[in-house]
Structure 1
């Protein structure tokens, strides 16, 4: 799985000339969508299956500023994976600053069906559940 790469855009900066804090949350969403696509589950596929995946919680700890035109790498990893909810972690690196860790974030999600009811991923979305767990087990083994 490739990390998500982007170049910080000018319109994302604030009056101080650094990337506005809200844009890190957007970048996390972009990285999450990219990760799912790489796993063979583009978000549109979930919608076509009748599922949506709301963000239940999001947080970001800012460590070092990113500026316009900096190259950014985002590595997504699985923190928790339950029957209904899962939590992703995002390590955001500024590659223009020797790969310094610029921010660490997490998002918690679930899946809802067409009626807005929570989905038991291990039952109603077994294939996705298996793929998700296998992918992140492989990543954990790689880190060891």
Structure 2
């Protein structure tokens, strides 16, 4: 079975738009971070708890491809899943999609995951991360935190 997408719904705030009335392109990167944080929380891997264990997960690379513009008050769902993982790296993929009020109500708080993204595609993206310790030295998650690595394997496979 293919990995499910975690979904996080939101409404576009006025502060996220530019003079043209559309979401500023840089805000999608922030939305990816929100989506990733909520993905981790859903799978019981909060950033806070991971950092308390001495692990950091900095972004090495970020990519966004813009397909259509979101506007103030649009309903948007951020889809997130793992694209690749290894004991050292983790790659997330994202889709930001505009949805209708009906989608919002039908797929809201009672549904944390979806088999496939739905709605109008706005932006796709990826972030690449590396597991490091507090001294910013790379760590092999399989050796230092095998339970966390096994959890990622179960989710991603």
Give the TM-score normalised by structure 2.
0.83
* Counterpart secondary structure, 1:27: helix
Q: Is the 8 A contact 2:66 2:122 kept in 1?
A: yes
Residue 102 of structure 1: which of 122, 129, 132 is its match? 122
Q: Which of 140, 144, 147 is the matching residue for 1:124?
A: 144
Aligned residues: 137
TM-score of the superposition, structure 1-length normalised? 0.90
Structure 1's consecutive aligned runs of 4 or more residues displaced over 4 angstroms after TM superposition are none
Match of 1:46 in 2: 50
SS of the residue aligned with 1:3?
strand
Q: Deviations over 1:89-112 (max 9, x none)?
A: 001111149810111000000111
Unaligned runs of 5+ in 1: 138-144
Question: Matched residue of 2:138: which SS?
Answer: coil
> Which ranges of structure 2 fall in alignment gaps of 5 or more residues?
104-118
Residue in structure 1 matched with residue 134 of structure 2 by the alignment: 114
Q: Return the alpha-carbon distance in structure 1 between the equivalents of residues 6 and 86 of structure 2.
A: 24
Say what the alpha-carbon RMSD is for the aligned residues.
1.5
Which deviations, in whole Å up to 9, do the C-alpha atoms of 1:10-57 show, x marking residues without a partner? 000011100000000000000000010111111100111011110000
Match of 1:61 among 58, 62, 65: 65
Q: Which has the higher contact order (CA 8 A, sep 6+)?
A: 2
Q: Which structure dedicates a bigger proportion of its chain to helix?
A: 1
Show the 5 A alignment for 1:1-144. 2-96=6-100, 99-137=119-157
